[in-house]
Amino acid sequence: MGLAPSVFHSYDTDNQSHSRADDGLDTVDVGDTVKVKTYAGPGKTSTLRLIAERFERKRGQYLAFNCDIAADAKRKFPRNGSCRTVHSVAFAQADSAITARLNLPKEAQHLIAGQYGLSPIRVPTIFGKNVELSAFQVGRLVAEGSARFWRSAHA
């Protein structure tokens, strides 16, 4: 499944958002792909919603950078507009062997320290002084190191 559009139009919907929306409608009408790219506030969501409403038989995808924005767009868009985060699209395309590593159960750091009998340790610094890490901090380091390993290509 290719994600790259055959024709790519970029619009800065600043003070000319109405004429830009018309350009976007014309672009979709001839079968091309539209990309709306600008700063916060000038009407990206409104422009794309207008396009989705006009072309009810065509499908569109609204990509947001966080869950709150995607959820808000989902409430505003008609059914032919899919509203998701960029990360959710990437996650859906990733191999299940990789995504399974991201969903491993997490143990509380204080439980790790107790379960494995971790105790405080002294660590030398580059300044010539020792720093003492508590059992909790050692547990956190073990948990973070383990999580990094399971997300890596070496697992």
Is residue 142 located within the same domain as residue 66? Answer: no
> What's residue 83's pLDDT?
92
Is residue 21 located within the same domain as residue 88? Answer: yes
Q: How many domains does the chain have?
A: 2
For residues 73-111, one letter each, b for 16 or more C-beta atoms within 10 angstroms of the residue's C-beta and e for the rest, the string is beeebeeebbbbbeeeeeeeeeeeeeeeeeeeeeeebee
Q: Can you give the residue range of the structural domain that contains 51? A: 8-93
Q: What is the mean pLDDT of residues 12-16?
A: 48
Is residue 83 located within the same domain as residue 29? Answer: yes
E strand segments, 7-106: 8-11, 33-36, 60-64, 81-85
* Confidence band, pLDDT 50/70/90 cuts, at residue 104: low
Residue 1 belongs to some domain of the structure:
no
> What's residue 130's pLDDT?
93
Residue 24 belongs to some domain of the structure:
yes
Residue 38 belongs to some domain of the structure:
yes
Residue 104 belongs to some domain of the structure:
yes
